[in-house]
Chain A
């Protein structure tokens, strides 16, 4: 048992060493980064953070604002429309339900590369390229089939008697959705919200394609522009900004650890 602990602890240290080293290096002067392998900075010098924040022609405040705006809108869109769609699939009877459900499940398998180019052409033609709209508007139309699937599974587990009781009391489908299903589904809604946020925050491909002007960049795009513009000359500042880019995800994990781990364990949601 003791050996097991030693192995696990050593393994964890080995796994986390690169991250710890990066955080430590973000406080080191440039000259020390290539010689100092320690994970404890000698003093907490915030210089890299201050310089890095303003290193590009637009400051990181702007990139954080862009990233947060997109992520929040995506979370709202996904939770609202995916839960509505899932409610319809789980509870309402309508023509073609099974066929539509099967189609929805098929989109789970579809790699996004297939729809990528026509979508791009569409957004280019309506003049949405270089705005956040292509990244946000589709989410208000429940395009993330995975979350629909997750919610359908959850809604089916809720007792139907509740719906029926409400129906006898004169509630329509909207009120049942709003007053009964949603309040009972907080765990699954939270899971969808958390993963929406994490994925959007980390997303690189979407912003890479749709955002051109540096003022519209998200944090990951800005980091990439930073690497390209400084090459290998400003690692300290780069690490400082990388640390800040990872911080929201890390804090999310601290707060929602149970839900995140459960989400991964249940359904293989990618972190």
Chain B
């Protein structure tokens, strides 16, 4: 207990408050912080195009990545669910990208796959005879390579879906098919509503993860968020401001805005969920 209290005060509560204070200052690590009031926040929202761009990049990434990932996860989980032989083996295979995907090694691999003479273009040429661009160094496409990397890791939401699917009583499907419901109808009327809490759980989890995405963009763009800031994730911008430009005060303000955004979107999701997520015990 005592270590936790010390740790909590020293590494969580203390720094949180300190960071709030720093966000109202100008601080470059060398001289002590000077109070500037709301200047950091004002600058951020009125005259910092890179901040607004970082927000845009993060949201585009999130809006594409989260639904696609959940759709794949749900589709594959449904296919695997019906007591298929070798189900556990498939589950493990599909989970491997999720397990390894966050590591630097995979980001390095991605860089090769999507560069001008990389594997993806080689395959495109071999199959369709078209020569693709260098996906990672073209500003219009670079962000989508990161979306693909994230969607590729649909294994962990898939496992959560599988666990949820196994909770649905088989009798419901039997009753539905006696009533003449097609497979699609069963999916839409039985599976989806009963799985709603799990979908919601996965959605919130993936959304928070997406806000925090960092390493792949850092490795693939060589730390710049380039080309032309097209992969400048919010966290990458925060890192650059803090540890490349040593604007610690401004970076603290960025961190607090991130906290507020995450809290806002999480609570909005919870509010919205009242309209589409129903739990077993409230029926």
Contacts and interface: CB of A to CB of B under 8 A. Distances in A.
A12 interface: yes
B278 interface: no
B262 interface: yes
Q: Give chain B's interface residue range (CB within 8 Å of chain A).
A: 35 or more
Given A122-B15, A205-B214, A242 B3 contact: no
Interface in B88-108: 90-106, 108
A254 B22 CA distance: 46
A120 B243 CA distance: 10
A116 B108 CA distance: 26
B117 interface: yes
Given A37-B122, A85-B4, A268-B160, A116 B255 contact: yes
A18 B154 CA distance: 15
Interface residues of A, number: 81
Nearest to A12: B93
Dominant secondary structure of chain A at its interface with chain B = helix
Interface string A242-271: 110110011001000100110011101111
Nearest to A22: B109
Contacts of A198: 99
Interface stretch (B34-42, B56-64, B169-177, B205-213): B205-213
Interface stretch (A46-54, A135-143, A155-163): A135-143
Nearest to B13: A103
A170 interface: no
Given A85-B4, A114-B255, A239-B109, A250 B100 contact: yes
Most B-side CB within 10 Å, residue of A12, A15, A142, A202: A15
Given A12-B94, A264-B159, A265-B160, A114 B7 contact: no
The winner among B11, B76, B222 for most chain A CB atoms within 10 A is B11
A271 B254 CA distance: 28
A75 to B, nearest CB: 16
B119 A209 contact: no
Interface in B176-224: 201-202, 205, 208-209, 211-212, 214-215, 218-219, 222
Contacts of B248: 117, 121
A187 interface: no
A114 B160 contact: no
B272 interface: no
Contact of A7 (B79, B98, B235, B242): B79
Contacts of B104: 202, 204, 220-221, 223-224, 242, 245
B69 interface: no
B143 interface: no
A271 B239 CA distance: 24
A141 B80 contact: no
B16 A110 contact: yes
Given A121-B29, A242-B105, A250-B100, 20 more contacts: A9-B90, A11-B76, A15-B94, A18-B109, A37-B122, A94-B1, A109-B263, A111-B259, A115-B12, A116-B255, A117-B248, A138-B11, A208-B218, A224-B108, A227-B111, A228-B222, A242-B108, A260-B99, A265-B160, A271-B102
Interface of B: 1, 3-8, 10-16, 18-19, 22, 29, 76, 79-80, 82, 84-86, 90-106, 108-109, 111-113, 115, 117, 119, 122-123, 126, 152, 155-156, 159-160, 162-163, 201-202, 205, 208-209, 211-212, 214-215, 218-219, 222, 235, 238-239, 242-243, 248, 251-252, 254-256, 258-259, 262-263, 266
10 contacts: A16-B96, A19-B97, A35-B122, A117-B255, A118-B16, A140-B3, A205-B239, A242-B106, A261-B95, A268-B202
Interface of A: 1, 4-5, 7-9, 11-12, 15-16, 18-19, 21-22, 34-35, 37, 81, 84-85, 88, 92, 94, 100, 103-104, 107, 109-111, 113-122, 124, 138, 140-143, 148, 198, 202, 204-205, 208-209, 220-221, 223-224, 227-228, 232, 235, 238-239, 241-243, 245-246, 249-250, 253, 257, 260-261, 264-266, 268-271
